[in-house]
């Protein structure tokens, strides 16, 4: 197990050292607060930490930021509170722990035995039963699997009806962009466009003036967007589905009228379909200036 000494700060613990953890089974979880895949995995990691702590399991979260605003430690603290994370979290703003593990993914799990040897690793969601059985074997215990059910944004994706992939909006990784006139003619599935005076940067699009919109044609139960207000005060926004308020299809961060408030940098759930999943056109407009949009994810 590599060193954790590169952490810039620790949340919920004094600094931890692999040598001092010998004799304990350790689960290291790399995450970043805007990652939908981590959000859907987190209920399992949280449940394992609570269920096997007395058997000798130590779970360590490592928050390595994907987007620039995720370097804000207060945002990481808020995420740990909102997700009820009660295990230690190393803040890895300089990517030193990430590089020490030669990690490339969010989320990533590393399973370490009592001798400090990494016995297995898993990247992304899923494989929960196999992972928990491995934890049990490393601890030398047996038992039923811990019951887990994610709710809200942590709910498992509707994989059978998910036809739209994660889509980044900035120049660096942006794709599937449509010209604005395509919106009037009807966007094709998995295409998105901008309306208004947007500035396109490497990792984000920024709205310097009020009134801009983003439109996306998608097919999924859930639609999310990573947003930040930058240095601005909270920014009101509104979501429409096929030109109408979302009603019962609103996500946790908007109401039935589609109204929401951009307060801090994080992932915002805009849509959760309560009926059948079909192609829809999502539009989000911003009442005030300063909104920063990074990536759409779906579930």
pLDDT at 220: 98
pLDDT at 179: 87
Cβ–Cβ < 8 Å for 241, 271 = yes
Q: How far is the C-alpha of 103 from the C-alpha of 286, rounded, in Å?
A: 36
Query: Average pLDDT of each block of 10 consecutive residues along the chain (299 residues)?
Result: 97 95 97 98 98 98 98 97 97 98 98 98 98 98 96 96 97 90 84 95 95 96 97 94 97 98 97 95 96 98
| Structural domains in the chain plus CATH codes | 9-154 (3.40.30.10), 159-298 (2.60.120.260)
pLDDT at 169: 97
Q: Is the dihedral of CA 44, 296, 267, 205 positive or negative?
A: positive
pLDDT tens profile 191-240: 999 999 999 999 999 999 999 999 999 999 999 999 999 878 999 999 99
pLDDT at 182: 74
Q: How far is the C-alpha of 281 from the C-alpha of 271, rounded, in Å?
A: 11
Q: Which residues of 66-105 are buried (b: 16+ CB within 10 A; e: fewer)?
A: bbebbebeebbbebbeebebebbbbbbbeebbbebbebee
Cα within 13 Å of Cα(211), Cβ side: 3
- Return the number of other C-beta atoms located less than 10 Å from residue 32's C-beta: 19
List the structure tokens of 282. Answer: 């999502």
The contacts of residue 196 (CB under 8 Å, 6+ apart) are: 207, 209, 211, 212, 213
Q: How far is the C-alpha of 172 from the C-alpha of 158, rounded, in Å?
A: 29
Q: Scanning the structure block, which residue is given the tokens 């038992």?
A: 143
Cα within 13 Å of Cα(193), Cβ side: 16
């Amino acid at each position: 197990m590599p060193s954790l000494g590169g952490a810039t700060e620790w949340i919920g613990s004094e600094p931890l050292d692999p040598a001092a953890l010998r004799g304990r089974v350790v689960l290291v979880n790399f995450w970043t607060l805007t990652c939908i895949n981590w959000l859907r995995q987190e209920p399992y990691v949280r449940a394992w930490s609570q269920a096997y702590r007395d058997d000798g399991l130590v779970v360590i979260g490592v928050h390595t930021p994907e987007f620039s605003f995720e370097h804000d430690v207060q945002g990481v603290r808020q995420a740990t509170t909102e997700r009820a994370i009660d295990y230690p979290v190393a803040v890895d703003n300089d990517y030193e722990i990430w590089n020490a593990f030669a990690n490339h993914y969010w989320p990533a799990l590393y399973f370490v035995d009592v001798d400090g040897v990494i016995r297995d690793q898993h990247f992304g969601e899923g494989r929960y039963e196999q992972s928990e059985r491995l934890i049990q074997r490393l601890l030398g215990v047996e038992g039923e699997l811990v019951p887990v059910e994610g709710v809200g944004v942590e709910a498992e994706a509707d994989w059978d009806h998910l036809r739209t992939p994660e889509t980044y909006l900035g120049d660096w990784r942006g794709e599937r962009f449509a010209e604005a006139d395509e919106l009037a003619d009807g966007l094709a599935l998995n295409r998105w466009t901008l309306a208004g005076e947007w500035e396109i940067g490497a990792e984000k699009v920024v709205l310097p003036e009020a009134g801009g919109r983003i439109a996306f044609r998608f097919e999924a139960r859930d639609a999310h967007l990573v947003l930040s207000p930058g240095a601005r005060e909270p920014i009101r926004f509104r979501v429409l589905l096929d030109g109408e308020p979302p009603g019962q299809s609103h996500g946790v961060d908007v109401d039935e009228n589609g109204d929401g408030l951009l307060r801090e940098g994080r992932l915002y759930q805009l849509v959760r379909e309560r009926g059948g999943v079909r192609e829809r056109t999502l539009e989000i407009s911003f009442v005030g200036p300063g909104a920063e949009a990074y990536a759409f994810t779906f579930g």
